Amino acid sequence: MRVTPSNRTYHANLMKRRAQMDIRLGNGYDVHRFGEGDHVTLCGVAVPFTRGLQGHSDADVGMHAVTDAIYGALARGDIGQHFPPSDPQWKGADSAIFLTHACALARDMGYEISNADCTLVCEFPKIGPVSDQMRERMAEILGIDADRMSVKATTSEQLGFTGRGEGIAALATVALVAP
């Protein structure tokens, strides 16, 4: 692009705004193995299944990954530092407690959640039929519109522990913005 006096001002203003913006990205990852049970809790939704997920809390891999993504964007450690699995008060806890804490910490530090993306990696249960419920529940906790929360699933083509049906993994990315 050829710089002219008219677009020079535009570019200077754009660069000034960019210098003032504070955008942080965080990634999260979580894994839980299957155990006994009749459902799995994923992104705050109880999904009927022939097994459950094992974990100290409710083992919601989706919520845990998004929680860790927020902590990562804030450079404030991980879920285990804020809610140690060695602490019995978190045994069987609803993972919404952890995500709510991460959201409050972000707000206290002057950030808003711009959007979040969560990928569930599993051969089963099927996520498609309940993905909209998951998006709605996660968006509610995050305090964002559902169109800013993505929940999707993929398989690992029968490779690795998820492919062998031993558990579920989740990956998440979150963008935080200081207004």
Q: What are the chain's domains?
A: 22-178 (3.30.1330.50)
Give CA torsion, residues 86, 88, 91, 96, to 10 deg.
Answer: -90
Confidence band (pLDDT; 50, 70, 90) for 179?
Answer: confident
Average pLDDT over residues 151-177: 95
pTM for the structure as a whole? 0.88
* CA distances (Å), origin 50, targets 44, 125, 151: 18, 9, 22
Average pLDDT over residues 134-145: 98
